[in-house]
Amino acid sequence: MKQIEIQNVVASSSLASELDLRAIAEKLEGAEYAPDEFPGLIYRLKKPKTAILLFHSGKVVCTGGKSQKEVEEAVRTVSRMVRASGQKVTSRPVIEVQNIVSTADLESEINLNSIALTLGLDRVEYEPEQFPGLVYRLEDPRVVVLLFGSGKLVLTGARKPADAQRAAELVRGDLVRAGLLAGRRAETKPALARPSAPTPEPTPAALT
């Protein structure tokens, strides 16, 4: 199984004990603030490509980053912008990762019905009429893994990339021990060209 691929890192922090979101919205070009629809202010950064949510309580949530480094850079960038708008904010916000969403691939098709029956409904949730994937909850690390018949995995709840990788490997190990991993996906091979018919030897009549 290949290494996991991080799709989204969600992190939170606190910039101040209170923020004037309306004043920030007036100073930050492109900020979205509609308190009747959503209590927070939304600001989107192009680099790193992330979305920042600011709340009146001073809390900030960053989503969309592909690594912890990206969310830290995004939060600090917005912190400087908020300070420049006239708000009092902490100079060194403590940033905490709340959730890492990642994907992995078992490189083998799997039978979700067999997995649900073998591993038991006390460990997994599988209701194909409502959701096409099987939900596998791990206790250590505390990660939720969504398994699909194609062998693709979606992992959520990890706080560190290493936990997501370990969760993927634990799930694969459980399936291998239970004999639930099918063969590798068949690779599409190019069709072989038919050999051309041999050119007939010229007959004496054709030479005359």
Pinpoint the residues of the chain covered by CATH 3.30.310.10. Answer: 10-97, 106-184
CA distances, 164 to each of 25, 81, 101 (Å): 36, 33, 8
**132-186 pLDDT, tens digit each:** 999 999 999 999 999 999 999 999 999 999 999 999 999 999 999 999 986 554 4
| CATH fold group of domain 106-184 | TATA-Binding Protein (3.30.310)
The whole-number average pLDDT for the span 22-43 is 95
Q: Are 34 and 13 in contact (CB under 8 A)?
A: no
Q: Does domain 10-97 have CATH number 3.30.310.10?
A: yes
Q: Are 181 and 110 in contact (CB under 8 A)?
A: yes
**69-110 pLDDT, tens digit each:** 999 999 999 999 999 999 999 988 999 999 999 999 999 999
Share of the chain above pLDDT 70, in %: 87
The whole-number average pLDDT for the span 32-36 is 96
* CB-CB neighbours of 147 under 10 Å: 22
Give me the pLDDT at residue 153, please.
98
Give me the pLDDT at residue 2, please.
79
* pTM (two decimals): 0.82
Q: Are 154 and 171 in contact (CB under 8 A)?
A: no
Q: Name beta bridge partners: 156.
A: 144
